[in-house]
Amino acid sequence: MSRKTKNIIELTGIYSVIALMFVVIFYPLLWTLGLSLNPGTSLYGASMIPENWSLVHYEWLFTNPRSDYLVWYKNTIIVATATSFFAVLFVSLVAYAFSRYRFVGRTYGLYAFLLLQMFPVLMAMVAIYILLNTVNLLDTLTGLIIVYIGGAIPMNAFLVKGYFDTIPRELDESAKIDGAGHFRIFFTIMLPLAKPILAVVALFNFMAPFMDFILPRIILRSPENFTLALGLFNFVNDQFANNFTRFAAGAILIAIPIATVFLLLQRYLVSGLTAGATKG
């Protein structure tokens, strides 16, 4: 009897903790959704459960000539796709060299990567600004993409190198004996086997431009070049309380696709991360 009671009490405890966490997690998200459906534009007077809800803000984002939302969305997708593609390319090449070849500077290179990934790009913002200015890439998406790719190399190369190390060397050695060249081994053996971690790298670098607003803020000047994060940030920053419901609508439209992709792939992501970090 007492054991059964204890069991029930414990389970109730567990479920109430879980329920509490559900409330804490869902409250801000649902609050935003509710707010985005309010007809007024200001935070004051808006409520989580609007009495006469409407989709005016969503409509405004897409149709109003003063809204750059679609341009921002397009810019972000361009930046995200380019960054993700080139980051995977460069990172896998570098990681392959570090995992399979001995060459001058290899060990120091690894240490250097570890150190460099600790430094946020933010610390060097003045220099990046001056550098991009001298090569005329300031206020261009290309400049932003280049900085993203360069910044992605140290951290991701380390992850991918760790994963490559777990692929048995016998595989590529036997291919070499069969007469396969360096690139052939790389493209037909290493890359297909490393798909999980490459997917992680691609996903990370695809999502970064959706989430990052500080680099775009330093590099991009004109509103037609903004990415979503920067555009939305300026949106609320100018008149915080007054544009909030529109911001909420814009935010929901970013959060839903990103969160969906993320939840679908997160299993991949966690296993890739732990494999790279512990086995590497």
Partner 1 sequence: MANKEDTNDVNLNHSQKKSHNPKMAAILSIIPGIGQVYNGRKIKGSIFFILFAAFIIVFNDFLNIGFWGLVTLGEIPRIDDSRVLLAQGIMALILTSFAVTFYVANLMDAYKDAKRIQQGWKPSSIREEFRNAWDKGFPYLLVGPGLFLLIFVVVFPLLFMVFLAFTNYNIHNAPPRHLLSWVGFDNFIALVTIPIWRDTFFTVLSWTLIWTFVATTLQIALALFLAIIVNDPRVKFKRLIRTVFILPWAVPGFVTILIFSAIFHDQFGAINRDLLIPLLGFGIDWLSDPFWTKIALIMIQVWLGFPFVFALFTGVLQSISSDWYEAADIDGASRWQKFRNITFPHVMFATAPLLIMQYAGNFNNFNIIFLFNQGGPAVRGQNAGGTDILISWVYGLTFETQNFNMAAAISIIIGLMVAGFAFFQFRRTRSFKEEGKI
Instruction: Enumerate residues 59-88 that contact partner 1 by CB under 8 A.
Output: none
- Considering beta carbons, is residue 11 or 171 the nearer one to partner 1? 11
Per CB under 8 A, the list member of 167, 196, 207, 268 interacting with partner 1 is 207
Closest approach of Cβ 216 to partner 1, in Å?
A: 11
Binding span for partner 1 by CB under 8 A among 15-23, 57-65, 66-74, 193-201: 15-23
CA 35 vs CA 44, 65, 233, 248, 274: distances in Å: 11, 23, 17, 7, 38
Rule CB under 8 A: which of 36-55 touch partner 1? 43-44, 48
**Binding positions for partner 1, 260-279, rule CB under 8 A:** 262-263, 266, 270-271, 273-274, 277-279
Residues in 218-257 that interact with partner 1 by CB under 8 A? 229, 232-233, 236, 240-241, 244, 247-248, 251, 254-255
Find the shortest distance in angstroms from Cβ 253 to partner 1: 10
- Residue choice 102, 168, 177, 238 for contact with partner 1 (CB under 8 A): 102
Residue from 9, 12, 29, 53 touching partner 1 (CB under 8 A): that is 29
Please, are residues 157 and 95 in contact by the beta-carbon 8 Å criterion?
yes
Give the nearer residue to partner 1 in terms of CB position, either 65 or 241.
241
Q: How far apart are the first and last CA of the chain?
A: 51
Please count the other Cβ atoms lying within 10 Å of the Cβ belonging to residue 163: 26
Q: Which two tokens stand for residue 75?
A: 């810019």
6 binds partner 1 (CB under 8 A): no
Contact 231, 75 (CB under 8 A): no
Question: Which lies closer to partner 1 via its Cβ, residue 97 or residue 193?
Answer: 97
Q: Kindly state whether residue 7 participates in binding partner 1, applying the rule CB under 8 A.
A: yes
Crossing angle of the two packed helices 195-211 and 228-238, in degrees rounded to 10 = 30
Under the binding rule (CB under 8 A), the answer on residue 31 touching partner 1 is yes
List the interface residues with partner 1, window 160-189 (CB under 8 A).
162, 165, 182
Ramachandran region, residue 136 (left: φ > 0; alpha: ψ -120 to 50; beta: rest): left
> How many residues interact with partner 1 (rule CB under 8 A)?
95
Shortest distance (Å) from residue 68 CB to partner 1: 18
* Shortest separation between residue 24's beta carbon and partner 1, angstroms: 7
Q: Cα dihedral sign for 136, 138, 141, 146?
A: positive
Question: Is the CB of 65 or the CB of 108 nearer to partner 1?
Answer: 108
